[in-house]
Amino acid sequence: RKEVEQDPGPFNVPEGATVAFNCTYSNSASQSFFWYRQDCRKEPKLLMSVYSSGNEDGRFTAQLNRASQYISLLIRDSKLSDSATYLCVAPRTGGFKTIFGAGTRLFVKA
Amino acid sequence: SQTIHQWPATLVQPVGSPLSLECTVEGTSNPNLYWYRQAAGRGLQLLFYSVGIGQISSEVPQNLSASRPQDRQFILSSKKLLLSDSGFYLCAWNYRAGTEAFFGQGTRLTVV
């Protein structure tokens, strides 16, 4: 089983829609989690961190479910500019590897 | 503030030629450093990581190697490139294990 697994998509949604991605992780000792955004042919950039209580940043909400070992990203009121690949990260506690999920592609259409 | 520089941005190399990609971090000391590769349409594959000068851990057996001659310098090398080495190479750093990582702009390598 991969350490971090994501639905590759693509998710095709109209502008204004709400879309949610899930990411499952296998290492129950992971303490911190992150969502990154990667535009085509660019480097990944940190979108938001996900801590135990979850967090919200404008239209974006990230949540953690430790019991089921998954994190989620909710995007409300989708914009054309949200079209990108979203990567999740569940670093190992005590280790130095930073393993990324394969990413979920999102296309927002007018 | 911290910045990470990676060069070159693009590279076209013939099969069998050597490779040297360089990455430097500014504004911090003793960072963890990483090399990733991303094949077209695929996820990030961790190649190497380093927690200090001269300390390199390899994730995937291959014809690539990495070195860290200075605290904030990380180099990815190959003696003889293969067609399968083509991809998008990304250098990244973080403060410590488990924290968010920050990426350089990447090198797009095409082996022909």
Q: What is the pLDDT of residues A5-31, one digit of tens each?
A: 898 889 999 999 999 999 998 877 777
Edge to edge, the sheet with strand A33-38 lists A11-14, A104-109, A84-89, A33-38, A45-50
Q: How far is B104 from chain A (nearest CA, A)?
A: 7
Please report residues of A whose CB lies closer than 8 A to that of B36. Answer: 100
Q: How far is B15 from chain A (nearest CA, A)?
A: 23
Local confidence pLDDT in tens for the 112 residues of chain B: 889 999 999 999 999 999 999 999 999 999 999 999 998 878 888 899 999 999 999 887 678 999 999 999 999 999 999 999 999 999 999 988 778 899 999 999 999 9
Please report residues of A whose CB lies closer than 8 A to that of B97. Answer: 91-96
Supply the pLDDT for residue A47. 96
Between positions 47 and 106 of A, the ones with CB within 8 A of B are 49, 87, 89, 91-103
Angular region, A79: left φ>0, alpha ψ -120 to 50, beta rest = beta
Q: Are A46 and A36 in contact (CB under 8 A)?
A: yes
B43 contacts A103? CB cut-off 8 A: yes
Q: Are B34 and B57 in contact (CB under 8 A)?
A: no
Residue A19's nearest CA partner among A27, A28, A9, A29 is A9
* Max CA pair span of chain B: 39
Question: Cα Rg for chain A, rounded, in angstroms?
Answer: 13
Instruction: Give the angle subtended at the CA of A68 by the CAs of B99 and A88, to the nearest 5°.
Output: 35
Please report residues of A whose CB lies closer than 8 A to that of B104. Answer: 43
Residue of chain B nearest A40, judged by CA positions: B41
Please report residues of B whose CB lies closer than 8 A to that of A89. Answer: 100-101
Supply the pLDDT for residue A76. 98
Supply the pLDDT for residue A2. 72
Q: Is the pLDDT of residue A95 over 60?
A: no
How confident is the model over A37-90, as pLDDT tens digits?
A: 999 999 999 999 987 888 999 999 999 998 898 899 999 999 999 999 999 988
